[in-house]
Structure 1
Amino acid sequence: MASLRDLGLSEYEARAYRSLLQTGPTTAKELSRASDVPMGRIYDVLNSIEQYNLVRSQTASRPKKYVAVEPSTALDRLLADKKRELEERADQYESIVDDLSDELVATDPVDEQFWTAAIGPADTFELIGERLAAADDSIVMVAADPTPQIDVRTVGEEVLDHLESALDRGVSVDVLMNRSLVDELPQSVGRRYRRTLQSRSDFAVRTSERVTGSFNLIDSIEVCIQVPNPLSTGEIFGTIDLKDAEFAGEVYDEFRPLWREAKPLEL
């Protein structure tokens, strides 16, 4: 159940404000009794919610009286305060990330084999996104038919996000896909491709009916291979990510003739 505490008020502050809505203009002493806020705390609580602009005070009266601001106005003010606080925190986190990006430097990659795996569609695409984001030099993406487990619209937009970021980093991108996959892509992906990617010299898309599997080749040393579910045709079981320059070279050698024979994408 929603509470004023969810918007930043303390228990005593929430009690005091709610009680003021019931009592109308009242003194601190009367409000203490009505709200069960101890008399020793009531003035601090009133000063606090006054700073939130949730109450107005009548300073000319003796004793001083307080009245609650209307709930719609009070809630708008609390919401604005929380949004401002979140924006400030976001700015702080972005500054921290900028500082750490300069400080955290990975060592040069060790020339040895390493592999990892992800199981299921969600973890598969999380791993693929991570590896696309790590590319420094080149990406070769080969994509076959979509599976029923994939939201083509969401995945298509996310993949374009990663590819655009890679291109902005100076990474070259070649995409080879089965023609049937092109027909499955939403119009929004096609529009984005035409507007922002098609004219780039470091980006190319071709189609071929001979594409039957899906994998990504990263920086000529790493391969992400999607593994189909052996018990359910058309579904993804997971992805194997293998860092092995020799194997990656063999995969690229198999890719090159397919790429040469493929047709440039026309939408």
Structure 2
Amino acid sequence: MSAGKADFTDIIEKLGLIGFSEHEARIYVALVQVGPATAYELGKQAKLAVPNTYNVMRSLTEKGAATQVSGQPARYIAVHPGQFLEAMANRTTRICEELTEKMSSLTSEENDDYVEMLSTPDAIDKRIMATIEDAESQILLKATSPLPSRIHKALQAAAKRGVEILFVYYGEKPKLRETGKVRLWPHEGNGANIGPDFFLLSVDFKRAVVREPSGLNGAYSENRSFVYLAGVFLRHELYLAEIMTKFEAEIEDAFGPALFKLRESYGMLSVDDDIRRFVDSRVKRRSVQNVD
């Protein structure tokens, strides 16, 4: 049964994706439909000029997609699509594996001389996923929780292969099982969301990703200075969360909830309405606890 017009067009396009010219694709489809056939008959079926058809048949025979079965005039049959495409897929896989092996020696071990600017959500997402999936020993992360499911699953997979995960979060506690190698801290020990909500990831002391709050821009680098700054910042977030967890009351007495006295004193971050509401709620809570 011949393919319908819509299917014919789709097949032509997909054959083009695996290296067929348009004429080759049209003749191969015609040959599958009507073969065995002469070049003249195939040209009529595919609506191509006969001289073009002879050249195309030579090309298809060389590709292994067609076989000549008689001499005068030459007639051809199509190699069964399943057989031909499977052989082509196996050959392509072997070539790609060989190229991967040979070209890996051409690339630099370290790409530390640039910062890659990421300007679309899709590019940022792919870079975050690839960075997590490449992790071998440690992931440091600061982000709002819950995370997108794909990132959450990537972290779960990393944990299963033994990667240490140290995660400072805003919002809900992540649904990652805490073990010796998976540790979770609410931001500053209490989950206070202070300032712009950047996503920050550092992996294996080798690479880092930053995504700004809008999610529309980000940066990735293996540059040592960039990775160092990201890693130090994240470690200080871990240290602060750990200290606040153990000494929250004393620290709030000295510096106020959300350390707002320090923040105001050094002008590092304006105390906006959200922070002020958090501070007021903490003060009221402390007052009630003191009365009790």
Q: Please give the TM-score of this superposition, normalised by the length of structure 1.
A: 0.54
Question: SS state of the match for residue 100, structure 1?
Answer: coil
The one-letter amino acid paired with 2:149 is R
The alpha carbon displacement at 1:177 in A equals: 3.3
Larger deviation: 87-96 or 15-24? 15-24
The alpha carbon displacement at 1:80 in A equals: 1.7
Gap change, CA 1:119 and 1:21, over 3 Å in 2: closer
The alpha carbon displacement at 1:106 in A equals: 3.4
Report the equivalent of 1:233. Answer: none
**For 1:9 and 1:143, how far apart are their aligned partners in 2?**
47
Report the equivalent of 1:68. Answer: 77
**Contact 1:57 1:65 (8 Å CA) reproduced:** yes
Does the alignment pair 1:243 with 2:226?
yes
Structure of greater Rg: 2
The one-letter amino acid paired with 1:243 is F
Gap change, CA 1:37 and 1:8, over 3 Å in 2: farther
Report the equivalent of 2:149. Answer: 153
The alpha carbon displacement at 1:153 in A equals: 1.9
The one-letter amino acid paired with 2:238 is F
The alpha carbon displacement at 1:87 in A equals: 0.7
The alpha carbon displacement at 1:95 in A equals: 0.9
The alpha carbon displacement at 1:77 in A equals: 3.0
Is there any run of 5+ residues in structure 1 with no aligned partner, and where?
A: 230-235
Does the alignment pair 1:252 with 2:235?
yes
The one-letter amino acid paired with 2:213 is P
Structure showing greater relative contact order (alpha-carbon pairs closer than 8 Å, 6 or more residues apart): 1
Report the equivalent of 1:77. Answer: 83
The alpha carbon displacement at 1:205 in A equals: 2.3
Matches within 5 A, 1:166-185: 167=163, 172-178=164-170, 180-182=172-174
**Contact 1:222 1:245 (8 Å CA) reproduced:** no
**Between Structure 1 and Structure 2, how many residues are aligned?**
221
Among residues 196, 201, 210, which one is paired with 1:216 in the alignment? 201
Gap change, CA 1:88 and 1:153, over 3 Å in 2: same
Report the equivalent of 1:205. Answer: 183
**Contact 2:143 2:168 (8 Å CA) reproduced:** yes
**Contact 1:26 1:66 (8 Å CA) reproduced:** yes
Report the equivalent of 2:100. Answer: 94
Q: Please give the TM-score of this superposition, normalised by the length of structure 2.
A: 0.50
Is there any run of 5+ residues in structure 2 with no aligned partner, and where?
A: 1-8, 247-292
* Cα deviation digits, residues 151-172 of structure 1 (max 9, x gap): x2222234456677894xxxx5
Report the equivalent of 2:290. Answer: none
Question: SS state of the match for residue 184, structure 2?
Answer: strand
The alpha carbon displacement at 1:180 in A equals: 1.6
The alpha carbon displacement at 1:143 in A equals: 2.6
The one-letter amino acid paired with 2:97 is D
Question: SS state of the match for residue 228, structure 1?
Answer: coil
**For 2:59 and 2:126, how far apart are their aligned partners in 1?**
49
Does the alignment pair 1:49 with 2:55?
no
* Cα deviation digits, residues 40-93 of structure 1 (max 9, x gap): x8499369538736346257xxx4663535xxx732233223312321232123
Report the equivalent of 2:121. Answer: 121
The one-letter amino acid paired with 1:66 is R
Report the equivalent of 2:50. Answer: 37
Matches within 5 A, 1:134-149: 138-146=138-146
Does the alignment pair 1:227 with 2:236?
no
Aligned-residue RMSD, C-alpha: 5.0
* Cα deviation digits, residues 81-124 of structure 1 (max 9, x gap): 331232123212321343235xx2439x79xxx97754553343
Gap change, CA 1:31 and 1:43, over 3 Å in 2: farther
Gap change, CA 1:56 and 1:156, over 3 Å in 2: same
Question: SS state of the match for residue 205, structure 1?
Answer: strand
